[in-house]
Structure 1
Amino acid sequence: MKRSAEAGSIGVHQASFSDDAALDSKTAVTTVQIMTGEIIGYLSDMGVSPNLLRLSLSIESSDMRYLTTAEMRDWNIITSNDTVTAQTVPSSEPVDKPVSSPSAKAGATATAPSTSRDNALDFIRRYHEAWSRDNSTALAFMRKAYEDQVTFYGRVVDRDAVMKDKATFALRWPERIYSVKPGSEAAVCGEKCDVSGVIEWFARSRERGKTSSGMAEFAIVWNPATSQIESENSKVLATDRGAQAPERIISQWHVENGECRGSTNPDSPETQTACARREEIGAMLDTFGWCYGHKNDYGYQMKWHLCDAASNRP
């Protein structure tokens, strides 16, 4: 059986009953168990990984998590190599959807030493951390991040053209938080590295009175020899109309905080990484004027809020 789908065309979340469903708790539990069993059987019949169900059970019924191309391929949801790959217009186009995170179509299949993979993933983290800073710092990083010639959203252009696009975007959205969704990043390296994942953003222009929030799939081709990007492209998976708070970024903080505080092995590299990412995300939220807890709060009282005089600050 041949199956293909476009990235962002399939979304999952928890099952739920309508508000007017007249079900007692025992009947509701039984119904969910029966339905889950049927889903597991169907996924097995179709040869689809149970990771799809695990993901859906982790997403609130009021939310939606759209699958990336890598997830659909790895979980055998798509079985065709001619998957539809829609292309997003560069970020300088007049739309209120910041999509300046890098992306490209990857094709390498060779496995490289872990150092190349680790370096690629570290680069993509630093890329988005830099892009989340002030325009001067962000654009200085961008200028060093690209090769002289770049395949940029399907067109071969020089670095100056890329920088013009980035500068236009930065002026339009001078305050930005771009953060890779935990667990979504992947890198396959041979001579070059194909790096992909999901980026979540929140951006603001005080001058225009505009905010933007959403999620996009990204992939780049990165050269380990030069530590520079050779190709970039991206696709928006979701936008949050009217978002006034960085809820997606706050949600990432809670994920990393849970991994950091809830680990049974606080000295493990995974725990240390989660703790470091929590602090990094917290610092970015602070630059946007969002704080976690007040100075005299107990742990259970702490919540993310617009900072005030009594707020905890990093």
Structure 2
Amino acid sequence: MLVVSGEFGANEPLNAFTNAVASSRARVVVFNSPGGNVGSAIRLGRIIRAAGLDTLQLRQLQCASACSLAFLGGVHRVAEPGSIGVHRPSLKPADGMSNEDAEARFQFGTAAIISYVVEMGADPKLMELASSYDKHDIRYLSASEMAELRVTNAAANQSPADALQVSTTPDPASVSAPAPDARQQPESVAVAFVRDLIEHHGDNNDFALAQAQASYAPMVDYHGKLTNLSSIMEDKRSYYQRWPERGYNVRNDSIVVSCANDRCKVSGIFDWIVRSPSTHKQEKGVADFSYEIAIGPYPKIIAERGDVRP
């Protein structure tokens, strides 16, 4: 059993967790966390899912706020009644951010959370419930609510210990994965930002457009031409309407990144497939990408280039 404890920091590197999984060979993750940064919690949830791990939450420990999102990463999810707490996401704009950028950031953040909840197999109505409570009035879920919203996916008549066949008392040999230093190198931030942008082009149109709106600077060197954000959005909207079903996968071993003076360049290769059910057309292939990003509290794309390989 692996215990994840502490708050999730912004742009938090998760190497400590992946190393702990490898060294402990744990198959079940338990949380003792009051929450923290939503983006880091979502990244941890995806790592948990990719590793094929299960999640278990005990009432004597804490898993509230953003921690509930990390919990959803479990392939099999079991929680005691009252052990998972949710509330309305806190998505604060950075100092000096315009109202337009703040609204775009909020829309993107909300869309990204809902997209993740659906991706993990839970009911998006979970976010509707959470939105009724602020962070000072956390709503702890009952067993029936967790089952109905697919926060848990074990049989309702099974206890957590029976469902995952683990002891509800943390094993002395358990490995604790405390929250590491929240600081992260700009290279890691840039790579995570670009990967998230590309792979979430495959979300439904509203989510993908909200992310694009929040990710580009007001003026961008867009495929060799200085282009304003509204024109970029129109280009994206037209493409998404033409190809409603899309899938993208960045090749990890292709990524090259370099950073200097709060600017990062990220390039690499991704595989893509697009479909249009209405026209019965499908295309797929391989493409090169290159982005230049202004790194800050909210990274922004200032240049983009790319070519489809023949």
Q: TM > 0.5 between the two? A: no
Greater strand share, structure number? 2
Q: TM-score, normalised by structure 2?
A: 0.40
TM-score by length of 1: 0.39
